[in-house]
C-alpha cells in the first residue's frame, strides 16, 4: 500500500491528489517548490512505472510546471527526480528566479529551509489550485 515517505511528509504540506501523484508543497518559502509522488508502493525509478503511467507522470509534471510558472513569475522551472536520500520516487518541480537563494545552482542541499508563513502559503495554494483546476482532487 502506498504511504508517503516520512521524510517527505515531514518536509512538505499537502496540496491534493492528481490522477497519478500525491501533490505536496515543500515547506520552504525561498522557492515555490512542488513535489509529485506517484501513489504506487515500492517505486524508486521513473522507468519502473509502466509506459501509460510514465506518460501520465510527464503530463502532471507539465501541468504543475505551467501552474507554478504562471503563479510565481518564474524565470526557469527546474524538474528533477534524484532520490539519493529518500528512496521513494518523487519528482521536484521548482520555480526558480534569477537571484534566488541558490541561483544559478540547483536548490538541493543549499542553506536551510524557511517555512512558509500562513498567509503566503494560503495565497500560493489558492492560486495553484485555481490553475490546476479539475486535475486536482
Cell of 97: 528566479
Q: Provide the 3-class DSSP secondary structure of residue 105.
A: coil
Instruction: Look at residues 43, 51, 50, 48 and name the one whose alpha carbon lies nearest to residue 22.
Output: 43
Site residues for a copy of itself, 37-66, by CB under 8 A, read 44-47, 51, 54-55, 57-59, 61-63, 65-66
Q: What is the CA radius of gyration of the chain?
A: 14
Contact 120, 29 (CB under 8 A): yes
Residue 73 interacts with a copy of itself (CB under 8 A)?
no
Residue with Cβ nearer a copy of itself (78 or 121): 78
Q: Is 112 in the site for a copy of itself (CB under 8 A)?
A: no
Q: Which is nearer to a copy of itself, 30 or 121 (CB)?
A: 30
User: Binding to a copy of itself by residue 69, rule CB under 8 A?
Assistant: yes
Say how many CA atoms lie within 13 Å of 2 toward its Cβ.
13
Q: Which stretch binds a copy of itself (CB under 8 A): 1-9, 15-23, 33-41, 75-83?
A: 75-83
DSSP state of 118: H
Member of 77, 95, 128, 132 binding a copy of itself (CB under 8 A):
77
- Give the angle subtended at the CA of 21 by the CAs of 132 and 13, to the nearest 5°: 75
- Contact residues for a copy of itself, defined by CB under 8 A: 44-47, 51, 54-55, 57-59, 61-63, 65-66, 69, 76-85, 96, 103-106, 108-109
Amino acid at each position: 500500500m502506498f504511504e508517503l515517505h516520512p521524510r517527505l511528509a515531514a518536509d512538505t504540506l499537502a496540496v491534493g491528489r492528481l490522477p497519478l501523484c500525491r501533490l505536496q508543497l515543500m515547506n520552504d518559502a525561498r522557492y515555490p517548490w512542488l513535489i509529485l509522488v506517484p501513489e504506487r508502493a515500492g517505486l524508486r525509478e521513473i522507468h519502473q512505472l509502466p509506459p501509460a503511467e510514465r506518460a501520465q507522470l510527464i503530463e502532471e509534471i507539465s501541468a504543475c510546471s505551467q501552474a507554478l510558472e504562471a503563479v510565481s513569475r518564474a524565470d526557469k522551472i527546474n524538474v528533477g527526480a534524484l532520490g539519493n536520500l529518500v528512496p521513494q520516487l518523487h519528482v521536484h518541480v521548482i520555480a526558480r528566479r534569477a537571484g534566488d537563494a541558490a541561483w544559478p545552482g540547483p536548490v538541493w542541499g543549499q542553506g536551510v529551509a524557511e517555512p512558509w508563513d500562513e498567509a503566503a502559503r494560503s495565497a500560493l495554494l489558492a492560486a495553484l489550485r485555481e490553475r490546476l483546476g479539475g486535475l486536482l482532487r
